[in-house]
């Protein structure tokens, strides 16, 4: 009954959004001003840019292991052994931040670089020095560090012990983050516990797309989800109780939140869109941000019923005790939000039959819904980039309504190209999505920061170096790894400088990118 009521409310919300979004396609102001206080920055992640995979005491993580044992895991058979070589080029990276004039830079810590045994019995001074040097170099120029504690690169040793499916990972993660808070918390005021939990659990434990590539969907991904939520909560409570009183920072989780739009206004399609929201990111948002906590009701109901039909003695979704529900609920100062695209969602009889007969017990069978995207949404060469800014607006509006307008920090937004300095499609993408963000802000959404993904080209997991997200291009064929600003870098610099989005601004790229006084 509760799930049906949620679908009913959601139906009228999306019908309103569809009607409103169509208005957003009309010509808008050519120049739009950003609100005062909105933080603007860029981001990367340790494995994707650092390189130096086995230097100065760093040990093996799950991506080192995966890309070395399956040398063509990535589309181009690449790996992060050298990547952008940021471990040795951090001063150039900070110089790029200064050229852009950004307020902050989001990066992640390598667990293995700090704790080579995976545990706090040994702290690697070389790793500590690297992050101290990066943080201090940024602060020298008033660039705020936003630090992600875990961005997918789990120590391989811990994976051999079960990784995120082992309940002891809650303690392991707590021990690691405590070291990080002690080492860097005097200067870091924004902490992100975990990046994109659905991607960690579903794509890493439920499929072979991300490390550790277990492909145990419908079981391992749910074990991962519960343990990851508890580990996030452990990090939050450690910071809140032991470090916040003296360090006075903020701590939150970042969730990848795509928008799911009903393919029609039928009950089935509206319910399918709502269910996908709950399964794909409500699975993590609901236990933390809702008043009731716990996994979404629709997940508990559907997985429980299907598990029983499939002959399991208990639900494949592990139960959270009331103590665990209370421990997780409210453990995020902000809503960290990554967003890239939008999907139409639907469900019908053939959908249900397909999933139950073909897939058997699985995450997709449990959610029981399908998605598609329209070909006209595609922008540029990359098949993974779809331009749907109205979906971003709908998403931000939904979060405002669903979670009492919690402050939102947009920690990733961007698009891939296949290279080249004249990236007009990326310029269009950023302008469109930032304008959709402004629409939501003007209607009351509490958005405190926006992050362009990414500062530079990097190792893009399964797609290696074939997909380029950077506003700075990197020549990976050159051992020197030169960084060159793309057109999008010039445009983003002007957005940061002027605090406006000018739809007609054309940069003069013959003038070298420089650091403003």
* Residue bearing tokens 């789990």: 154
Q: 295 — phi, psi (to 5°)?
A: -65, 155
H helices of 125-266, in order, are 125-140, 156-160, 169-184, 197-198, 220-238, 244-247
In 3D space, the residue among 230, 397, 198 whose CA is nearest the CA of residue 323 turns out to be 230
CB of 501 within 8 A of CB of 438?
yes
Q: Which two tokens stand for residue 88?
A: 């040795």
Pairing of strands 259-262, 342-346: parallel
Q: Which two tokens stand for residue 278?
A: 């709950």
In 3D space, the residue among 153, 174, 213, 165 whose CA is nearest the CA of residue 327 turns out to be 174
Q: Where are the beta strands (DSSP E) in 268-405?
A: 335-338, 342-346, 370-372
CB of 197 within 8 A of CB of 135?
no
CB of 190 within 8 A of CB of 249?
yes
467 in active site: no
Q: Cα angle vertex 171, ends 45, 57, to 5°?
A: 50
Cα separation, 120 vs 308, whole angstroms = 42
Pairing of strands 250-256, 370-372: unpaired
Residue of 99, 137, 196, 324 with catalytic role: 196
In 3D space, the residue among 428, 436, 478 whose CA is nearest the CA of residue 457 turns out to be 478
Cα separation, 224 vs 226, whole angstroms = 6
Q: At what angle do helices 424-442 and 389-402 cross, to 10 degrees?
A: 30
In 3D space, the residue among 467, 476, 471 whose CA is nearest the CA of residue 456 turns out to be 471
| Residues forming beta bridges with residue 349, ordered by sequence position | none
Q: Cα angle vertex 248, ends 244, 250, to 5°?
A: 80
Number of residues that make up the chain: 517
412 in active site: yes
In 3D space, the residue among 143, 68, 155 whose CA is nearest the CA of residue 110 turns out to be 155
Residue of 219, 324, 402, 412 with catalytic role: 412
Positions marked catalytic: 196, 412
């Amino acid at each position: 009954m509760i799930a049906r009521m949620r679908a009913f409310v959601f139906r009228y919300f999306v019908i309103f959004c569809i009607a409103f979004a169509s208005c957003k396609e009309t010509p808008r102001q050519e120049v739009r001003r950003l609100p005062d206080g909105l933080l603007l920055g860029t981001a990367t992640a340790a494995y994707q840019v650092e390189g130096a995979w086995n230097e100065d005491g760093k040990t093996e993580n799950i991506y080192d292991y995966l890309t070395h044992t399956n040398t063509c895991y990535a589309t181009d058979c690449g790996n992060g052994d050298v990547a952008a070589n940021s471990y040795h080029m951090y001063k150039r990276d900070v110089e790029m931040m200064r050229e852009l004039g950004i307020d902050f830079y989001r990066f992640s810590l390598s667990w293995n670089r700090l704790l080579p045994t995976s545990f706090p019995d040994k702290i690697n001074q070389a790793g500590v020095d690297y992050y101290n040097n990066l943080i201090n170099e940024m602060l020298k120029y008033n660039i705020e560090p936003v630090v992600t504690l875990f961005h997918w690169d789990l120590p391989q040793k811990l994976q051999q012990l079960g990784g995120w499916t082992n309940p002891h990972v809650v303690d392991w993660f707590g021990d690691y983050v405590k070291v990080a808070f002690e080492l860097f918390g005097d200067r870091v005021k924004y902490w992100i516990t975990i990046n994109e939990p659905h991607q960690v659990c579903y794509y890493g434990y439920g499929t072979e797309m991300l490390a550790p590539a277990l492909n145990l969907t419908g079981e391992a991904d749910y074990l991962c989800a519960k343990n990851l939520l508890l580990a996030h909560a452990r990090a939050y409570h450690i910071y809140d109780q032991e470090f916040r009183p003296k360090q006075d920072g903020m701590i939150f989780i970042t969730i990848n939140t795509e928008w799911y739009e009903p393919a029609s206004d039928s009950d089935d399609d509206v319910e399918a869109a709502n269910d996908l929201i709950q399964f794909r990111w409500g699975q993590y948002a609901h236990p933390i941000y809702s008043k009731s906590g716990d996994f979404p009701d629709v997940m508990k109901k559907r997985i429980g019923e299907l598990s029983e039909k499939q002959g399991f003695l208990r639900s494949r979704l592990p139960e959270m005790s009331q103590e665990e529900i209370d421990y997780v609920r409210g453990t995020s100062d902000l809503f960290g939000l990554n967003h890239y695209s939008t999907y139409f969602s639907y469900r019908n009889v053939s959908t249900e039959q397909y999933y139950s007969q073909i897939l058997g017990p699985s995450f997709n069978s449990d959610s029981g819904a399908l998605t598609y995207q329209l070909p006209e949404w595609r922008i540029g060469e990359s098949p993974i980039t779809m331009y749907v800014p109205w979906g971003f607006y709908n998403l931000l509006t939904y979060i405002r309504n669903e979670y009492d307008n919690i402050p939102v920090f947009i920690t990733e937004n961007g698009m891939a190209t296949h290279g080249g300095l004249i990236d007009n499609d990326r310029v269009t993408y950023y302008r469109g999505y930032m304008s959709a963000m402004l629409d939501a802000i003007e209607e009351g959404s509490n958005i405190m920061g926006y992050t362009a993904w990414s500062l530079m080209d990097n190792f893009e997991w399964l797609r290696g170096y074939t997909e380029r997200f950077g506003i700075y291009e990197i020549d990976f064929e050159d051992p020197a790894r030169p960084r060159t600003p793309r057109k999008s870098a010039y445009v983003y610099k002007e957005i940061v400088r002027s605090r406006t989005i000018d739809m007609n601004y054309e940069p003069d790229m013959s003038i070298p990118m420089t650091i403003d006084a």
